[in-house]
Amino acid sequence: MRVPVLFCASGEVRKVLALTVFPLIGIALLAAAGIWSSREIRLRMTGVPVAGQISGMVLERGNSAELLAGMDTTLILRAADGATTEVKAKDGGITGIRSTQANGNESTTLAIEDLSPDLQRVVEDTVGGSGEIVRWALLRESRRPDAADRIVRIERTDTVHGFFGLESAPEIPALRDGRPHVEGATPGTVTIRAVFDRSDAEALAARKGDALAEYGYLRNGEPVTPERRDFYLAAEPYETQFRPVFVYEVKGTRYSRLSHIGRHGGPTLALRLYNPCRVYYDPARPSDALLMPEPGALSGDPLAWFSRYCEGLFGQWGGTALMVLAAVTCLVVGLLFLSLAVRPGIVIKPTNE
Amino acid sequence: MDPVIESQHQRIPWRWVLLLNILGQARLLVLFASGSLTFTMRKFIDSPMIINSVSSLDIVFNLLVAAPCLYYSDRIWTRHGRRMPFVVVSFVVLAVVLILLPLAGGAVPMIVLIVLWLIFWDVGSTFDTLMMEIIPPGQRGRSAAIGAWMLNAIIMISAVVISGRFDDVVHGSLATLRGEELIYWWGAACLIFCVIFLVLFVRERKPLGHPPPSAGNGWKGAFESIFAEKSLWPVYLLVFSTILMQTGLGAIDPLLMTEQWGYSKQDMGTNVFVGGMINMFIVIPLIGLIADRMDRLKMFSIGVIGVLVGQVAYYVFVQFILPDRRPSITHMIIFGQLMSMIGQFSGIAMQPLIFDYIPRDKMGTAQAGLNFVRSVTRLVTLNGIGLWVTFYSKMFLPVGKYDYFSGYLFMIGMNLLGCGFLFYFARQVR
């Protein structure tokens, strides 16, 4: 059996070897951090920055994957007085709002700015939010019982266009009609219709206060029971990994890439679907690109912005930062021990020894 | 040329103190990494009752493992010292546990690993004693100040950099790294750092005096002697009531923020980061300023009543005033810091108040009894809150949903009960 050198060497040699341990670990960790993030560091330092957008989301399960390439949403909000507001959205952007009065006679086409502040907030929250956010929006509305225009029922239908049942995540999704596309795979749809209703107090009590009254999940027309009764990105079990697909343009050519940053349990705060992002591409090979989250200018709740900023920064560099921190600590500790070897300092032993 | 750090000296170089503080903080970073255990358990366990029960085993092992290890480390001597064997064995096992934990594929291996974690963390409880044996009394004050400064730095690092990484997945050019692996393996790396440090550079010197004699009569004798002294019963009641009033959500607290209120783990980190800054720069100096100008009993009363009022106010604010029953991070920080500030009033006044009622010749016995009462009460309240949340949710929520915030009702109930006992205590000692 071979005995490590450190333990069979003579006293002085052993001490010298011991002194080299922490500096060597520190240097090794610095090298490991550099190797681990070499591509990211190279693209961040030498790449050309360009504005990009998160245009799709890959959902990776154990042995299958799905690509969300586009989403159409129809939202019907019904107020307590019977008036309805119908909102259409495509790929994260509102494309039309139609308001119908309580008597059903008069229909008006509106812009989001034309809506009352309360209704505007409900629309913004619920058009792309998870089921829980829709529940909170309805609960918030129910707290103004005297307002006739309070929303009491929200019906949302999401049609997700994409590629389902893929064997693995498509590394470089192609683009077709501006949406990510997997060559050779058959596109499909997932349709999710959910009705959240707080208009009937008895029915609400029978559901133990849950506003979700109706729910249906169809994949290519076939009913499916998801892990959670929620919209597409919130219906998955924790193990599912969400990886954004980002799009950017270089000299008139549009590129689409799968992000190297993913997340379990839901998309990351810093890389939300259809949000802008920053892309650093290799000028010699524009298809080689790095996605960086773009927290945007400080707006809204500053603490929420700070969280997004940190999530973006450390989601990308967290592992590297910890390796560098460990390396610096090892180097400092190594140097301190080295200094003790050169100048031991004053040690006063117990007087009775 | 001997860079080895040794115990049992009357004065040591300040560089030793600095190095030992770095070592101590590396161990604390492991503790912060273990803060993600709730989320690891949540992957396989739904019930808050079970999650809190597993977490509360910590208290059981505090009594069953940490206490005997500390006791025997006073009475043994090996060629590697008396504290070091416990610490090194503990750190090596903990590092292995942390490496395996994110790879556990089911509830059973995960619980086994968590139980091992809790046991061996307590085996390593001789670490603090080892540090105190190396740092002489005359240098402990400044060492504590260095440690406090470093602690604040690592709290910030943990909150901002580490705690939010749990769900992340980074697909590097060499390998894929999940955030859960990053957090626990970072913890394991800190432990390996500690082991290398201790094995290569720390040496225990045999103490000159004789080891203290064995207590005799084993556990039974010790237990009986703790409770035989009737004059200490009111003090135990005082501590029992204050622990009731300190009931918290325990391991389900992070689930309230993430699952019920929909915040991310990074938001949680932001909460700790900003709260920590306010605590460090405003709350602690303010408390220090007020503490010297106020009567201790008055401070204690303000603390006790204030925390109860604060909890009720927070519950009413969230449940009945906020339109969507969901506080913002700012709300959480404001209420959290207010309650922390008020809580510190009773905390500062508590210790001297307790010892006012303990005769000098019974302080050792009282300390042992107080630790026992504290541990058992915490064990009961932690499991109680898990049970409460589970049954409350079963009664009032659809299947599979949990109202973690209902735990505040339990906390308020325990606080009221604690106040009742305190009132009784006050009447007894008057």
pLDDT tens digits, A246-278: 999 999 999 999 999 999 999 888 888 999 999
Please answer yes or no on whether A348 and B200 come within 8 Å at the CB atom: no
Which residues in chain B are closer than 8 Å to A38, comparing Cβ atoms? 173
CA B211 to chain centre: 30
Put simply, whether A301 touches B (Cβ < 8 Å) is yes
What does the CA dihedral B324, A228, A58, A248 come to, rounded to 10 degrees?
-20
Is B27 or B370 the better-scoring residue by pLDDT? B27
Residues of B in contact with A353 (CB under 8 A): 208
B234 Cα to chain A: minimum distance (Å): 43
- Alpha helices by DSSP H, listed for B317-362, are 329-356
Determine contact: B174 vs chain A, CB below 8 A.
yes
Q: Is the pLDDT of residue B227 over 80?
A: no
Using CA atoms, how far apart are residues B252 and A199, in angstroms rounded to an integer?
Answer: 33
Task: Say how far apart CA A1 and CA B417 lie, in whole Å.
Answer: 65
Chain A, 29-58: which have a CB under 8 Å from a chain B CB? Answer: 35-39
Residue B357 structure tokens: 């009622």
Of B337, B334, B167, the closest CA to residue B264 belongs to: B167
Q: What is the C-alpha separation between A234 and A255, in angstroms, rounded?
A: 27
Return the percentage of chain A with pLDDT > 70, whole number: 96
Residue B220's pLDDT is 67
Question: Chain B residues with CB inside 8 Å of A12's CB?
Answer: 1
What confidence tier does B46 reach under pLDDT thresholds 50, 70, 90?
A: confident
- How many Å lie between the alpha carbon of B267 and the closest alpha carbon of chain A? 5
Q: pLDDT value at position A9? A: 61
Q: Is B173 on the interface with A (CB under 8 A)?
A: yes
Q: Where residue B216 falls among pLDDT bands split at 50, 70, 90?
A: low
Question: Taking a C-beta distance cutoff of 8 angstroms, is the pair A79, A150 a contact?
Answer: yes
Q: Tell me the two tokens of residue A33.
A: 């951090």
Looking at chain B, which residue has its C-alpha nearest residue A14? B200
Residues B87-140 pLDDT 10s: 999 999 999 999 999 999 899 999 999 999 999 999 998 998 899 889 998 888
Q: Using CB atoms, pick whichever of A25, A139, A262 lies closest to residue B324.
A: A139
Mean pLDDT of A42-46: 94
Output the pTM of the full model. 0.89
**Whole-angstrom Cα distance, residue B339 to residue B345?**
10
CB contact (8 A) between residue A329 and residue B22 = yes
Helices (H) and strands (E) in chain A, counts: 7, 16
User: In chain B, what residues touch A210 (CB-CB under 8 Å)?
Assistant: 397-398, 401
Q: What domains are defined for chain B?
A: 5-206+219-429 (1.20.1250.20)
Is residue B214 classed as helix, strand or coil in its secondary structure? coil
Of chain B residues 331-370, which have a CB less than 8 A from chain A? 333
CA distance to partner chain B, nearest, from residue A250 (Å): 24
Interface of B with A in 29-88 (CB under 8 A): 43
Cβ neighbours of residue A234 closer than 8 Å, sequence gap 6 or more: A130, A131, A132, A228, A266
Identify the residue with better confidence: B74 or A210. Answer: A210
Is B168's CB within 8 Å of A262's CB? Answer: yes
Predicted confidence (pLDDT) at residue B38 exceeds the cutoff of 70? yes
All residues at 6 or more sequence positions from A69 whose CB lies less than 8 Å from its CB, including other chains: A56, A161, A162, A163, A173, A179, A180, A181, A187
Does any CB of chain B come closer than 8 Å to the CB of residue A263?
A: yes
Tokens matching residue B125: 């409880």
Q: What average pLDDT does range A50-67 have in this prediction?
A: 93
Element (H, E) at B423: helix B407-429
The partner residue sitting opposite B270, judged by closest CB among A139, A310, A336, is A310
Minimum distance, in Å, between the CA of residue B330 and any CA atom of chain A: 7
Question: Binning pLDDT at 50, 70 and 90, where does residue B286 land?
Answer: confident
Q: Output the CA–CA distances (angstroms, integers) from residue B126 to B77, B88, B301, in the order listed.
A: 14, 10, 36
Q: Is B298 on the interface with A (CB under 8 A)?
A: no
Q: Give the pLDDT confidence of B364-379 residue by residue, as tens digits.
A: 777 778 888 888 999 9
pLDDT digits (tens, 9 = 90+) for B181-199: 999 999 999 999 999 999 9
The answer to whether the Cβ–Cβ distance between A346 and B26 falls below 8 Å is no
d(CA A342, CA A332): 15
Mean pLDDT of A193-215: 94
Query: A261 and A244 in contact (C-beta within 8 Å)?
Result: yes
Per the CB < 8 Å rule, is B3 touching A263? Answer: no
d(CA B99, CA B181): 8
Q: Tell me whether B13 touches chain A (CB under 8 Å).
A: yes
Q: How far is B90 from chain A (nearest CA, A)?
A: 21
Q: Is residue A315 less than 8 Å (CB to CB) from chain B?
A: yes
Check if A241 contacts B (Cβ < 8 Å). Answer: yes
Whether the pLDDT of residue A4 is over 60: the answer is no
What is the C-alpha to C-alpha distance for residues B50 and B48, in angstroms, rounded to an integer?
5
Comparing alpha-carbon positions, the chain B residue that sits nearest to A210 is B398
User: CB contact, 8 Å: B189 with chain A?
Assistant: yes
- Among the partner-chain residues B171, B266, B324, the one whose CB lies closest to the CB of A136 is B324
Please give the full DSSP string across B136-186, using - where no structure is assigned. Answer: -HHHHHHHHHHHHHHHHHHHHHIIIIIGGGTTEEEE-SS-EEEHHHHHHHH
User: What amino acid is encoded at A182 in this protein?
Assistant: V
Whole-angstrom CA distances from B313 to A59, B317, B319, B325, B330 are 42, 6, 10, 13, 16
User: What's the average model confidence in pLDDT over A299-328?
Assistant: 91
CB contact under 8 A, B10 and A314: no
pLDDT of residue A1: 43
Residue B166: predicted pLDDT:
94
- A73-116 pLDDT, tens digit each: 999 999 999 999 999 999 989 999 999 988 777 778 888 888 89
Nearest to B262 among A132, A208, A262 (CB): A132
A291 touches chain B (CB under 8 A): no
CA A87-A92-A95 angle, to 5 degrees, is 40
pLDDT grade for B362, boundaries at 50, 70 and 90: confident
pLDDT at position A169, please?
Answer: 86
**Distance from the A85 Cα atom to the nearest Cα atom in chain B, whole angstroms:** 21
Q: A98-117: buried (b, 16+ CB within 10 Å) or exposed (e) per residue? A: ebbeeeeeeeeeeeeeebee
**How many Cα atoms occupy the beta-carbon half-sphere of A340 within 13 Å?**
27
DSSP-H helix ranges across B202-319: 218-228, 233-245, 253-255, 265-278, 284-291, 296-316
Judged by CB atoms closer than 8 Å, whether chains meet at B170 and A132 is answered as: no
Using CA of residue A197, residue A202, residue A204, residue A209, what is the dihedral sign? positive
Least confident of A2-6, A82-86, A297-301, A333-337: A2-6
Neighbouring C-beta atoms of residue A223, cutoff 10 Å: 8
pLDDT of residue A3: 46
Q: Is the pLDDT of residue B294 over 50?
A: yes
Is pLDDT larger for residue B223 or for residue A282?
A: A282
Q: Which of B18, B164, B178 sits opposite A310 (nearest CB)?
A: B164
Residue B40 in contact with residue B110, Cβ under 8 Å? Answer: yes
How far apart (Å, rounded) are the C-alpha atoms in residues B32 and B272? 12
Long-range pairs for B102-106: beta carbons < 8 A, 24 or more residues apart: B102/B40, B102/B178, B102/B180, B102/B181, B102/B183, B102/B184, B102/B185, B103/B181, B104/B40, B106/B44
Q: At what angle do helices B14-33 and B126-134 cross, to 10 degrees?
A: 170
DSSP B258: I
Is residue B221 very low, low, confident or very high in pLDDT (cuts 50, 70, 90)?
low
Q: Look at the alpha carbons of B348, B254, A315, B333 in this order and tell me if their dihedral is positive or negative.
A: negative
Which two three-digit tokens encode residue B349? 């006044």
* Chain A residues 92-111 with CB within 8 Å of chain B: none
DSSP string, B296-324: HHHHHHHHHHHHHHHHHHHHHIIIIISTT
CB-closest option in A21, A132, A301 to B200: A21
Residue of B nearest to A337 (CA): B3
**Phi/psi of residue A8, each to 5°?**
-110, -5
| Closest residue of chain A to B396, computed from CA coordinates | A208
Q: For chain B, what is the mean pLDDT?
A: 88
pLDDT at A2 over 60: no
* Residue A12 touches partner B, C-beta closer than 8 Å: yes
φ/ψ of A274, rounded to 5, equals 70, 10
Rounded to a whole number, what is the distance in angstroms from the first to the last CA of chain A? 41
